[in-house]
Structure 1
Amino acid sequence: MEEVDEQMTEHKPGFLAQLTVKGQEGSRWILDGDDEDIMINASEFETQPEIGDAVEVFLYMNRRGELTATLNKPDMTIGSFGWGRVIRIDEKEGAYVDIGSSFEVLVNKADLPRVKALWPKTDDELFMTLRTDLGGNIFGRLATEERVLELIADAPKELFNKNVKARAYRLLPVGSFFLSTPETYRIFVHHTERENEPRLGEEVEIRIIDVREDGTLNGSLLPRKEERLGDDADTVYRYLTDVGGKMPFSDKSTPDEISEMFGMSKAAFKRALGKLMKEGKITQGDGWTTVK
């Protein structure tokens, strides 16, 4: 990958580097970092290296402020992007994320949604890169829309009306943006196409409702019509059984009555009653609906 090759010349925290084994000092090996020696724990090697061996490592600052190397290369580096798994949330600091290396990184709370209900939870995944502060300490940074557009794959027309698993990477009042996993298709879900707003990093199953000419997708988190019909019928039938098998609601009830009691439109209510009657589960008469 071009980004990785460029990083090989950087002996800075957050980058990959190709270094040469220079010697051993106690339980650590010394790597030649040109201007300074860089240490790596001997336990990182499955087999003992030899002086002069070249090794590919990831560089970071240890707790003593020393530039240190690890063979456990992360899923993203400064300049490249990947998915980081949330391992814990600190309400004062933000989200601590497993990047696939020897240590976790913090995504600062300033980078997370203002509404804490939309913060990621443990095991959600964030599409992100790495950054460092002035001291060289590594932090996580969420991918910007500009970079996402550079990294996404073109979606095929065959995805129309298919279900795709994806994770939310950007939340706006107008809707939610997702990246499919593992293909990295970009999917936009308008706020009218969802019942609840997903968390940042939450994985959901999205029905594709449009494949755009630019290769991106529009999706919906609402069930298909036939699925909604089944859910509405279940809601009505469950209510009927809970109240003893008879209710003073029918297809003659007003829209306001239906909305207040069942949270659905009159048209949806009538379709649900029709389904239950077709299945022989209910009867209607004199404004009442009764379980058979």
Structure 2
Amino acid sequence: MKELGIINSLLINRFTANGAYLALHDGGEVLLPKSYLKGEEKAGEELEVFIYTDSEDRPVAVTNRPIALLDEFAVMEAKEITKFGAFVDWGLPKDLFVPKAEMGKNMEVGGKYLVRVCRDFRTDRLIGVSKYEDFLIKDTQGFEAGQQVEALVFDETELGFKVLIENNFEGLLYKNEVFENIEIGDKINVFIKKRRDDGKLDLQLLPIGRVKYEEGAEKILEVLKVRKFLPLHDKSSPESIKELLGMSKKHFKQSIGQLYKAKKILIKSDGIELV
């Protein structure tokens, strides 16, 4: 069934006590259960539905959309672990099954993992695969230093946060360069720092070069407009600066240097204030 795992626009063929039967492109039909009908639909009307298999492996249509379609990745929470695999939440009544053989690492209930929706051609049903590296593209020549991209945070290591870019590329945000709260499953905007020889991308949260200091300076100005005075200066601890402004000490010093040269702030022995 070519409609499996994707969003389809299908016509209503007929109604029964169980719901509406929609016409498939091969001449067959698929049931849209009654619970997904508003009661206003008519035969011949076109509906947008997602098709997957129910608990008895029968094709079924639903009007809600999972967090990932066929051949897409998403961060999913493990709901149940069995000796055969794990069931993860992908936003539908029936959880997505990740076979043990397709797990990148052992899953735990409540844990969040990067999972790709795939088609098992032996059983003709949708399954999850957490061996994400098998699907990644190593050629990152299409990216340039300084380019802004959207990233999906999917793992945390001692080095930093692993992210997925454009459903195909892996990147890393180094922990010592992150000065804000990031959670697994967050979608964030990042900037390409450099392309690595192994095909992965080093990333950072702020634009590279002079722009990043201008952004930091703007942030300090916005805080000063509200608080008028900040008890931060060259001798302040990195922890104090991070707590109040969410930036590194180096970033802070370069930003207040710009503001001071622009005569926007006064730097005193106990802190900084607006001119």
TM range (shorter): 0.5 to 0.7
Shift of 1:265: 6.3
Partner of residue 111, structure 1: 107
The amino acid that maps onto 2:176 is T
Highest Rg: 1 or 2? 1
Q: What is the match of residue 69 of structure 1? A: 59
Task: Tell me, yes or no, if the aligned pair for 2:172 and 2:203 is still in contact at 8 Å.
Answer: yes
The corresponding residue for 1:148 is 135
Higher helix share: 1
Hey, what does 2:200 align to over in structure 1? Answer: 216
CA contact (8 A) 1:97 1:107 kept: no
SS of the residue corresponding to residue 201 of structure 1 reads coil
Q: Which of residues 17, 35, 44 is equivalent to 2:21?
A: 44
Aligned pair in 2 of structure 1 residues 222, 266: CA closer, same or farther (>3 Å)?
A: closer
1:45 counterpart letter in structure 2: L
In the aligned structure 2, how far is the partner of 1:91 from the partner of 1:202?
A: 23
Q: 2:257 aligns with which of 243, 262, 274?
A: 274
Amino acid aligned to 2:178: R
Measured in 2, the distance between the counterparts of 1:199 and 1:260 equals 20
Counterparts in 2 of 1:44 and 1:212: CA distance versus 1, 3 Å: farther
Question: Residue 262 of structure 1 is aligned with which of 241, 245, 265?
Answer: 241
- 2:165 partner amino acid: S
Counterparts of residues 1-292 of structure 1 (less than 5 Å): 27=16, 43-46=20-23, 53=27, 60-62=53-55, 66-70=56-60, 81-84=71-74, 96-98=89-91, 103-106=93-96, 111=107, 119=112, 126-129=114-117, 141-149=128-136, 152=137, 154-182=139-167, 184-196=168-180, 198-234=182-218, 236-237=220-221, 255=235, 257=236, 259=238, 261-263=240-242, 268-284=251-267, 291-292=274-275
Residue 200 of structure 1 aligns to a residue whose secondary structure is coil
1:269 Cα deviation from its structure 2 partner: 4.4
Unaligned stretches of 5+ residues in structure 1: 6-13, 17-25, 29-40, 121-125
Question: How has the CA–CA distance of structure 1 residues 194 and 260 changed in structure 2, closer, same or farther, with 3 Å as cutoff?
Answer: closer
Query: What SS does the corresponding residue of 1:45 show, helix, strand or coil?
Result: strand
| Distance apart, 1:162 and its partner CA | 0.6
| TM superposition shift of 1:67 | 4.1
What is the aligned-residue RMSD (CA, Å)?
5.1
C-alpha separation between the residues in 2 aligned to 1:187 and 1:260?
Answer: 27
CA apart distance, 1:56:
9.6
What is the aligned partner in structure 1 of residue 42 from structure 2? none
Matches of 1:265 and 1:203 in 2, distance apart? 22
Show CA shifts across 1:229-277 (max 9, x none). 23543465466556655x7866xx5x2x354653466654443333222
Q: 1:43 to 1:258 in 2, by over 3 A?
A: same
Corresponding residue for residue 40 of structure 2: none
Counting matched residue pairs gives 227
Contact 2:80 2:109 in 1 (8 A): no
Distance change >3 Å, CA 226–CA 106, structure 1 → 2: same
CA drift at 1:97? 1.0
Q: 1:291 and 1:164, CA in 2 relative to 1: closer, same or farther beyond 3 A?
A: closer
Distance change in 2, residues 1:195/1:285 (3 Å): closer
Query: Gaps (5+ residues) in structure 2?
Result: 7-14, 32-50, 99-105
Deviations 1:91-115 (A, max 9, x none): 999852137xxx542578x73697x
Aligned equivalents of 2:52 and 2:173: distance in 1?
Answer: 38
SS of the residue corresponding to residue 258 of structure 2 reads helix
Rate the CA distance shift 1:85–1:248 in 2: closer, same or farther, 3 A.
Answer: closer
8 Å Cα contact 1:111/1:142 also seen in 2? no
